């Protein structure tokens, strides 16, 4: 009973929004031709584990793009009328603005599941080395494959593997699937990569009567070695960034200020620009800009976990 209540709470918090449902009810009969043309979008929504049916998401894409078109036309016409632009030009530019905004919204929403799928794949790749050892320990304690997923599902964290374990447990306990069918369903909703290969290997080992503990231990060693190599590469890349930081943000500004100061003594202008202005731009624009770029690069290289 407690499991059913938790499942109902989970489903309630993972449902399409009212706008998405309204979009589907309004446009479903008119956009059926799109359902067969955006098959890749269906796979991306499934692999991203987005809590929305494919048809509902497509309908929300279409309605959002229509709203964006109307908004773009109205805003453009009002803005151009304010500057006393001729009416034909205003209407033409307004239509173009609405069309461009509509296309941007449509393809932008189409890209969201792709980004979510890639983000989910990256999180799973980071979590695998830490959870495989835990799975092996659970198997060594005598738990079956189903028991392993149920134990992980009891965790209170928001990690992707925990969410997937809750998904498998729900399918087994609520929908009545056997563990192999539930895992196969999860594989279909998982981006291609190490995690899907791990699940497929677990199914093969289970069917052949193999030792799941030995399988998880052997797989854990492989993933831990890959993790070590990735950390080593990240460390080397950070070393290169540290050298770039020293050159771009310490050595170069000092040398540039010294050179510009000496040149200002002889001639206050350089190519029509005031040298004092150039030094101010270097200090207050170039150096902070380089710093922001390096921070973004460092943030992309450092593991998030």
Looking at the domain assignment, is residue 2 inside a domain? no
Pair (216, 129) in one structural domain: yes
pLDDT band at 256 (very low <50, low <70, confident <90, very high): confident
Pair (89, 101) in one structural domain: yes
Domain residues for 81? 16-121
Pair (143, 103) in one structural domain: no
Query: CA separation (Å) from 219 to 28, 100, 186, 202, 222?
Result: 46, 49, 19, 10, 5
The per-residue pLDDT for 205 is 92
Pair (63, 115) in one structural domain: yes
Looking at the domain assignment, is residue 27 inside a domain? yes
Query: Which of 121, 140, 167 is the endpoint of a domain?
Result: 121
The region of weakest confidence among 10-24, 77-91, 113-127, 254-268 is 10-24
C-alpha span between 111 and 165 (Å, rounded): 27
Query: CA separation (Å) from 154 to 6, 47, 93, 249, 289?
Result: 11, 23, 57, 49, 46
Pair (207, 237) in one structural domain: no
Q: Helix 54-82 crosses helix 39-47 at what angle (to 10 degrees)?
A: 110
Looking at the domain assignment, is residue 128 inside a domain? yes
Looking at the domain assignment, is residue 263 inside a domain? yes
C-alpha span between 106 and 133 (Å, rounded): 43
Pair (197, 240) in one structural domain: no
* Count: domains in the chain: 3
Looking at the domain assignment, is residue 6 inside a domain? no
Query: pLDDT, tens digit, for every residue of 6-50?
Result: 444 444 556 788 899 999 999 999 998 899 888 899 999 999 999
The per-residue pLDDT for 1 is 40
Pair (46, 111) in one structural domain: yes
Query: pLDDT, tens digit, for every residue of 195-248?
Result: 999 999 999 999 998 899 999 999 989 888 888 888 888 888 888 888 888 888
Query: Which of 177, 204, 221 is the endpoint of a domain?
Result: 221
User: Which residue is associated with the tokens 């393809």?
Assistant: 107
Pair (116, 140) in one structural domain: no
Pair (251, 286) in one structural domain: yes
Looking at the domain assignment, is residue 43 inside a domain? yes
DSSP code per residue over the chain = -HHHHHHHHHHHHSS--HHHHHHHHHHTTT-HHHHTT-HHHHHHHHHTT-SS-HHHHHHHHHHHHHHHHHHHHHHHHHHHHHTT--HHHHHHHHHHHHHHHHHHHHHHHHHHHHHHHHHHHHHHHHHHHHHHHHHHHHHHTT--HHHHHHHHHT--S--HHHHHHHHHHHHHHTS---HHHHHHHHHHTS-TTHHHHHHHHHHHHHHTT--HHHHHHHHHHHHHHHHHHHHHHHHHHHHHHHHHHHIIIIIHHHHHHHHHHHHHHH-SEETTEEHHHHHHHIIIIIHHHHHHHHHHHHHHHS---
Q: Is the pLDDT of residue 301 over 90?
A: no
Looking at the domain assignment, is residue 1 inside a domain? no
C-alpha span between 140 and 159 (Å, rounded): 23
Q: Which residues contact 223 (CB under 8 A, 6 or more apart)?
A: 128, 129, 132, 194
C-alpha span between 248 and 185 (Å, rounded): 51
**Closest to 127 in 3D by CA, of 206, 48, 224:** 224
C-alpha span between 191 and 49 (Å, rounded): 10
Pair (109, 23) in one structural domain: yes
The pTM score is: 0.74
Pair (134, 203) in one structural domain: yes
Looking at the domain assignment, is residue 287 inside a domain? yes
CB atoms within 10 A of CB 33: 7
The per-residue pLDDT for 303 is 64
Query: Which of 204, 221, 238 is the endpoint of a domain?
Result: 221
C-alpha span between 195 and 163 (Å, rounded): 14
Pair (74, 144) in one structural domain: no
């Amino acid at each position: 009973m407690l499991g059913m209540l938790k499942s109902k709470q989970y489903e309630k918090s993972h449902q399409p929004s009212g706008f998405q449902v309204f979009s589907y009810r309004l446009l479903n009969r008119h956009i059926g031709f799109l359902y067969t043309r955006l098959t890749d979008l269906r796979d991306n929504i499934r692999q991203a584990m987005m809590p929305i049916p494919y048809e509902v998401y497509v309908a929300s894409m279409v309605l959002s793009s229509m709203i964006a078109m109307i908004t773009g036309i109205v805003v453009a016409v009002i803005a151009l009328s304010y500057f006393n632009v001729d009416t034909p030009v205003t209407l033409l530019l307004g239509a173009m603005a609405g069309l461009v905004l509509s296309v941007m919204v449509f393809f932008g929403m189409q890209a969201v599941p792709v980004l979510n799928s890639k983000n989910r794949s990256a999180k799973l790749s980071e979590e695998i080395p830490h959870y495989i050892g835990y799975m092996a320990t659970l198997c060594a304690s005598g738990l079956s494959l189903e028991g392993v997923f149920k134990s992980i599902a009891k965790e209170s964290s928001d990690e992707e593997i925990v969410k997937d374990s809750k998904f498998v447990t729900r399918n087994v306990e609520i929908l009545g699937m056997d563990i192999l069918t539930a895992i196969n369903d999860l594989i279909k909703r998982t981006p291609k990569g190490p995690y899907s290969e791990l699940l497929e290997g677990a199914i093969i080992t289970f069917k052949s009567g193999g030792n799941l503990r030995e399988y998880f231990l052997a797989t854990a060693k492989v993933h831990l070695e890959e993790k070590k190599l990735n950390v080593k590469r990240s460390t080397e890349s950070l070393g290169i960034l540290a050298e770039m930081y020293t050159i771009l943000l310490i050595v170069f500004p000092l040398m540039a200020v010294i050179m510009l100061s000496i040149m200002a003594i002889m001639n206050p202008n350089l190519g029509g620009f005031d040298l004092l202005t150039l030094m101010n731009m270097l200090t207050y624009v170039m150096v902070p800009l380089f710093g922001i770029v390096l921070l973004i690069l460092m943030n992309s290289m450092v593991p998030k976990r």
